[in-house]
Every structure is written in structure tokens, then in C-alpha cells.
Amino acid sequence: MNPRDFSAPVPAGGYAWWYVDAVSDDGRSGLTVIAFVGSVFSPYYSFARRRGPVDPERHCAVNVVLYGERGRRWTMTERGASHLHRTATSFALGPSTLAWDGDALVIDIDERAAPLPRRVRGRVRVHPGTPTDATFHLDAERRHRWSPIAPCARVEVRFDQPALAWAGDGYFDSNAGSVPLEDSFDHWTWSRAPLRDGAAILYDVRRRDGSVQNLSLRVGRDGRVADYAAPAACPLPGTRWGIARATRAETPGGTRLRTTLTDAPFYARSLLDTRIDGEPVIAMHEALSMRRFVAPWVQAMLPFRMPRALR
């Protein structure tokens, strides 16, 4: 599978997603955009799979989250196959699109936030720099793949609703799998940080069988990916929903939680102040609990933040 190819087939019950994040140069604003085929966090997809094999294209979404002092928004409307059009170079779902324009990925967004139905409309342009050709399997059965396509990206953000414009360092990757995340994973933490000469990525996965996988990667601006010695584990404050957070730090006390961007019942996204090779950096960090995701009370809450379009 070419992770840049938006048309790649997704097996029944499986998923594929394309993920972009960015932090403004002043560190005061940020965003994430995730385009899903087989929306892994969808309560509707989760329920449908319990009844048998299901086409993942029936459960797609474009998740957009804006962070910062101006215009915080969350949108993740699920849509079915009739709203989806995919080619090798484009992904269109309802009124929103992702498309390659030469070497840039252009994301046009026209959605409504939830639970308050405010308009979210704008454009994100991702300049990936030199892409990597690396793909990693996150489980022993090789059913889940992660491809850090462009860890050293530059991102331009311009929205009409809410009115905002900024630019900053960003990141672009893709995940794909043939079975649901909750079948394989219990918990993971992930972080990425821009460096003067590239980027660093830390990915710590705890699987359902108790085994772990720890990836510590340095990515040069030439697209080369190399392992480096994993720093020591460093606990972070838990979330208000009781999700454990941790990262890796070169020195004790060398990492500080700057702000929590999203604090949800089964995951949290945060910004960290940390150091890599002595270089001070702002890292994007994610903590995800699949054990919490499958809890019935969490499944009952999700439709309020993840509505499904009726037509």
C-alpha cells in the first residue's frame, strides 16, 4: 500500500486514515485534520461490526480540530459511501476534500462543529518537504501499519469561519489496518517534535496481549529515518478523565506539560515543552486508551461529538 494513495482498498472491518497536525510559529495555535475510511472511533462503525463484516466506506469522516485563543472548534461528522469519492491523488467526503496539488497537499474544509453547530470553513496547505518511504507494523501479526510520510512539513492555515490565519511546523502520516484497533491495542502514546535538522518521533504501544513496541526515530530533512536510543520513560500528569499520560525524556524533569488541547474520555492531545539532544522543542503528544474507548458509557457519549449525516 502506498500511504500517499487515497484510493487504496480497505478491507471489511478495517480502516485507513490520513493525519495532519501543525503548531503555529508562536506556539499559540494549532490544528489536526484526520480523514478516515472506516472511522476507527465511530460508535456507528463499532456497532455495525458486531453484526458481521461491514464495508468501511459506509463509515467515513473528516475530523478537524482547531486549537488556540481564537476560534476553537471540533468537527467529526460521519458520512456514508454515497458521500465519498477517492482517487489516487484526492479524497472527497461531502463538502470537504484533500487533494495533491503538485508537491503540496491542499485540504479544503467545510464542516459544522459539534456539539454546537458552528461553521468550520477554510483551507490548509501542507508542504511535506522530502517524504519518507518508511512503514512500520505496530503488531506481531502485521495487521496495523503506520507510515510517517512527512514528519518535517510546513503548514499554512487560513480559515474564513472562524477567521484566522497562521503558519507553522507540521506533520503528515497515515495508518491502515485490517482489523479494529481495539482488537489489538490496549494503550499507546505518541509524540512528534520538529528539530533544526529534521524531526523526532516517539511511539510507545501496549498491545492487548501485554507485549509492547517502542519506536524512537529521528527523521532528517532529506527524508532518511533512523532509530536512536530511546530516552527514559517520563510520566506526565493524568487527564481529568483518568487517562494515563507518559513520554520519554533525556533528563529527569526535562519535560513539562505545556497545555492539554483535547481532553476526552478515551484520549488526550497535548503540547509538551521538552528537549531532544539538548534542543528545546514543543512536541505534539497523544495518549489513547482503547480499553476506555470500548466502555459502554463512552460509546453512549460519542454520538454527541460524532454525529452522522442522514443524507
Structural domain containing residue 78? 15-304
Are 287 and 189 a contacting pair, CB within 8 Å?
Answer: yes
Are 112 and 191 a contacting pair, CB within 8 Å?
Answer: no
**What pLDDT is attached to residue 70?**
74
Q: Is residue 191 included in any domain, yes or no?
A: yes
| Cα distances (Å, whole numbers) of residue 174 to 17, 62, 225, 281, 287 | 6, 14, 16, 23, 17
Q: Which three cell numbers stand for residue 76?
A: 467529526
**What pLDDT is attached to residue 1?**
62
Q: Is residue 1 included in any domain, yes or no?
A: no
Q: Is residue 230 included in any domain, yes or no?
A: yes
Count up the domains in the chain and report the number.
1
Q: Is residue 107 included in any domain, yes or no?
A: yes
**What pLDDT is attached to residue 6?**
97
pTM confidence score: 0.96
Q: Is residue 66 included in any domain, yes or no?
A: yes
CATH of the domain at 164: 2.40.370.10
Q: Which three cell numbers stand for residue 13?
A: 472491518
Q: Is residue 7 included in any domain, yes or no?
A: no
CA torsion 39-41-42-45 (nearest 10°) is 70
**What pLDDT is attached to residue 311?**
61
Q: Is residue 273 included in any domain, yes or no?
A: yes
The candidate with the shortest Cα–Cα distance to 59, out of 46, 72, 70, 69, is: 46
Q: Is residue 10 included in any domain, yes or no?
A: no
pLDDT in tens, the chain (311 residues): 687 899 999 999 999 999 999 999 998 999 999 999 999 999 999 999 988 899 999 999 999 999 987 778 999 999 999 999 999 999 999 999 999 999 999 999 999 998 889 999 999 999 998 999 999 999 999 999 999 999 999 999 999 999 999 999 999 999 999 999 999 999 999 999 999 999 999 999 999 999 999 999 999 999 999 999 888 888 999 999 999 999 998 876 779 999 999 999 999 999 999 988 888 999 999 999 999 999 999 999 999 999 999 76
